[in-house]
């Protein structure tokens, strides 16, 4: 009896999240996020390569990340991203040039998180705070930088576990075929786990309003599952459309914009789901 009553409640939860997702102008939010991502992507990846390079070595880290990008947006578009990384990573001589380069990387990488925070505040109906001058700017940038480093750390954890699973495949040798399915499932579960932690942290830390971790864990897990499915579907769409090759030099940029746009819609739906869950079953639920 309890299960029969619970199913309609959770169905209503998803309906409420979908309705709010449509009302909050998420296509506009996604377009803005895609725009900022174009400028933040190269700095983000350079920082990620630097962090992962401490463990794997720079070349191995670059190869692993390039492989992941290629799986998401296709090999043609991935080459364009590699070109962006190489262009942004050109090293200048001199202490001043190095300091300016690092500052530019940090500001560029944190820009996308600033836009994402604004989108989360709109979803949670949070009124923008009054400008707090230089200190407020420093605080916001520090939060964005923290999210950047946290993302890089989770990426490093994911790469370490994936490398461990690959090593296991090598060690078992001839029995690899019988274990390949299990290792593939393990890799998928690790990926979903890492993305769940990332989404949960985004839902908890970015909005300028208190949200319980319990509410965020629910939204983060469901969003990670949707993202895993959506990543496959978006990749199939981009691969079949042939955009990267059809539009020449602009093809890679167009693919990145589309991938971020469609992925952001999943992220924003997850934020709406987190909000709906908190209001119906979580910390903001009213007693009936």
DSSP, collapsed to helix, strand or coil, labels residue 56 as: helix
Length of the chain: 288
C-alpha to C-alpha distance for 100 and 228, rounded to whole angstroms: 37
Residue 60, pLDDT score: 76
Residue 162, pLDDT score: 66
216 Cβ contact partners less than 8 Å away, ≥ 6 residues apart? 200, 201, 203, 204, 274
Evaluate whether 235 touches 71 at the Cβ level (below 8 Å): yes
For the chain, 288 residues long, give each residue's pLDDT as a single digit of tens.
455 555 667 788 899 999 999 999 899 999 988 888 887 777 777 777 777 777 777 777 787 777 777 777 777 777 777 777 776 566 554 555 556 666 666 666 677 788 888 899 999 998 766 656 667 667 666 666 676 666 666 666 666 666 666 666 666 655 555 666 677 777 778 888 888 998 999 899 889 888 999 999 999 999 999 988 888 888 777 777 776 666 666 777 788 888 889 989 999 999 999 999 999 888 887 754
Residue 132, pLDDT score: 60
Residue 251, pLDDT score: 72
Among candidate residues 41, 21, 17, the one with its CA nearest the CA of residue 259: 41
Evaluate whether 254 touches 245 at the Cβ level (below 8 Å): no
Sign of CA dihedral 123, 127, 131, 136: negative
């Amino acid at each position: 009896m309890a299960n029969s009553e619970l199913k309609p409640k959770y169905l209503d939860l998803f309906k409420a999240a979908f309705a709010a997702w449509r009302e909050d102008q998420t296509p506009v939010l996604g377009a803005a996020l895609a725009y900022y991502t174009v400028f933040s992507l190269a700095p983000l990846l350079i920082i990620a390569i630097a962090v992962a390079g401490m463990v794997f070595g720079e070349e191995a880290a670059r190869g692993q990340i390039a492989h992941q990008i290629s799986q998401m947006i296709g090999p043609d578009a991935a080459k364009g991203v590699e070109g962006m990384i190489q262009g942004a990573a050109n090293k200048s001589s001199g202490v001043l040039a190095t300091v300016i380069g690092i500052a530019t990387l940090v500001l560029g990488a944190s820009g996308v998180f600033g836009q994402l925070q604004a989108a989360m505040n709109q979803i949670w109906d949070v009124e923008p705070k009054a400008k707090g001058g230089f200190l407020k700017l420093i605080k916001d940038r520090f939060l964005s930088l923290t999210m950047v480093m946290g993302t890089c750390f989770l990426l490093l954890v994911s790469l370490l576990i994936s490398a461990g699973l690959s090593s296991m495949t090598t060690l078992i040798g001839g029995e690899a075929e019988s274990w390949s399915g299990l290792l593939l499932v393990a890799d998928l579960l690790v990926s979903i786990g890492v993305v769940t932690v990332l989404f949960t942290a985004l839902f908890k830390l970015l909005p300028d309003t208190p949200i319980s971790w319990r509410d965020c864990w629910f939204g983060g897990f469901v969003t990670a599952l949707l993202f895993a499915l959506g990543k496959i579907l978006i990749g199939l769409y981009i691969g079949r459309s042939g955009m990267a090759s059809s539009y020449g030099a602009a093809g890679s940029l167009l693919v990145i914009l589309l991938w971020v746009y469609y992925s952001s819609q999943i992220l924003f739906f997850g934020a709406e789901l987190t909000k709906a869950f908190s209001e119906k079953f979580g910390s903001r639920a009213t007693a009936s």
